[in-house]
C-alpha cells in the first residue's frame, strides 16, 4: 500500500522535496499552494496538486489529511501560518510525522513544542554539509544525525578495492558501520546510473567506483576521512 505525503507550500525547498518524493514508487505526493503557476508546473509530476489557501484548515480535512503518512510544511517567511498549521496537523488531525521548514533555531524550538517531529533549516543544513565535505577529503555527502552520530558517503579507498566488508573489519578498526553501498550500474562500473545496496552484501568485493555509506560517531567518521584523505 502506498504512503501519502503532503507538501504544504511550494517554496524552493517544498518544490524540490515534492519532486524527489514523487520518484519513489511507494509514495503518493499531494501538494498544496496558492500559486496557480506553481501548481500547474508541478501537477504532471505528483499524484495530486491542489490550489488552495491552506490557512483554511478545512481544506486539509477534505483532502484526507487524517490518512496521510507524513506532511512537510514548507512555508518560508510565513511563520504565523506555520504555527497555526503545526498545531492543527498534530493536535487535531493527528498526522503521524510532521516536518517543518524553519529559518532560525528559535522557530525550530517553538514548533517542536507544538508537536513538530523534525525541523529543516535548508541554508544551515546545506552549509554544514558543505563544510563537512570540504574539511574531510574523500567524504562526498554528510548527514548530521545529532550530537553523537553522523553519517557520510565516502569514496572507496584504493586499499579497499577487491576486498569485502568481512575482510575490512571497519567496526572493530574504526567504530563505523557500513549501512549501504552505492554501485555504478553500467558494465565494469562505468555507467552513469547508480544502484544502492541496502543492506550491503558483506561478501561482495568493493570496486573503485563504489561509495560507502558510513555511520558512527563524529570522531570516528573524521578519523576515517583523515586516514584515507588521499584515496
Distance in angstroms (rounded) separating the CA atoms of residues 206 and 52: 50
Residue 47 — pLDDT band, cuts 50, 70, 90?
Answer: very high
- Cβ atoms within 10 A of the Cβ of 107, count? 18
**What is the DSSP track for the chain?**
-PEEEEEE--SHHHHHHHHHHHT-TTEEEEEEES-HHHHHHHGGGSSEEEE--TTSTHHHHHTTGGG-SEEEE--TT-HHHHHHHHHIIIIIS--S-EEEE-SSHHHHHHHHHTT-SEEE-HHHHHHHHHHHHHHSTTEEEEEE-SSS-EEEEEEPPGGGTT--HHHH-HHHHHS-EEEEEEEE-SGGG-SS-EEEESS--TTSPP-TT-EEEEEE-HHHHHHHHHHTTT-
Sign of CA dihedral 121, 124, 130, 133: negative
Check: CB of residue 155 under 8 Å from CB of residue 229.
Answer: no
Distance in angstroms (rounded) separating the CA atoms of residues 31 and 48: 6
Q: What is the pLDDT of residue 147?
A: 60
Note the pLDDT tens digit of each residue in 106-149. 888 899 899 998 888 776 666 666 565 555 555 555 555 556 77
Sign of CA dihedral 142, 145, 146, 151: negative
Note the pLDDT tens digit of each residue in 51-70. 998 888 788 999 999 999 99
What domains can you pick out in the chain, each with its CATH number? 3-122 (3.40.50.720), 130-227 (3.30.70.1450)
- Cβ atoms within 10 A of the Cβ of 128, count? 14
Mean predicted confidence (pLDDT) in 10-37: 89
Q: What is the pLDDT of residue 191?
A: 47
**pLDDT more than 70, % of the chain:** 84
Q: What is the pLDDT of residue 131?
A: 60
What are the cell numbers at 11?
517554496
Distance between first and last Cα of the chain: 43
Strands 194-197 and 211-216: unpaired
pTM above 0.75, yes or no: no
Q: What is the pLDDT of residue 121?
A: 79
Amino acid at each position: 500500500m502506498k504512503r501519502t505525503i503532503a507538501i504544504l507550500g511550494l517554496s524552493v525547498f517544498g518544490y524540490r522535496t515534492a519532486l524527489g518524493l514523487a520518484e519513489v514508487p511507494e509514495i503518493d505526493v499531494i501538494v498544496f499552494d496558492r500559486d496557480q503557476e506553481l501548481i500547474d508546473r508541478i501537477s504532471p509530476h505528483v499524484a495530486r496538486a491542489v490550489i488552495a489557501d491552506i490557512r483554511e484548515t478545512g481544506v486539509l480535512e477534505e483532502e484526507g489529511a487524517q490518512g496521510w503518512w507524513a506532511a512537510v510544511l514548507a512555508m518560508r517567511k510565513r511563520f504565523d501560518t506555520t504555527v497555526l498549521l503545526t498545531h492543527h496537523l498534530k493536535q487535531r488531525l493527528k498526522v503521524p510525522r510532521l516536518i517543518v521548514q524553519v529559518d532560525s533555531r528559535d522557530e525550530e524550538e517553538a514548533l517542536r513544542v507544538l508537536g513538530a517531529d523534525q525541523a529543516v533549516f535548508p541554508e544551515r543544513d546545506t552549509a554544514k554539509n558543505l563544510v563537512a565535505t570540504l574539511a574531510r577529503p574523500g567524504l562526498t555527502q554528510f548527514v548530521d544525525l545529532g550530537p553523537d552520530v553522523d553519517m557520510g558517503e565516502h569514496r572507496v579507498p584504493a586499499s579497499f578495492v577487491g576486498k569485502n566488508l568481512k575482510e575490512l573489519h571497519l567496526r572493530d578498526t574504526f567504530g563505523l558501520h557500513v549501512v549501504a553501498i552505492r554501485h555504478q550500474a553500467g558494465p565494469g562500473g562505468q555507467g552513469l546510473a547508480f544502484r544502492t545496496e541496502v543492506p550491503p552484501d558483506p561478501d561482495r568485493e568493493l570496486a573503485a567506483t563504489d561509495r560507502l555509506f558510513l555511520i558512527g560517531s563524529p570522531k570516528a567518521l573524521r578519523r576515517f576521512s583523515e586516514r584515507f584523505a588521499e584515496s
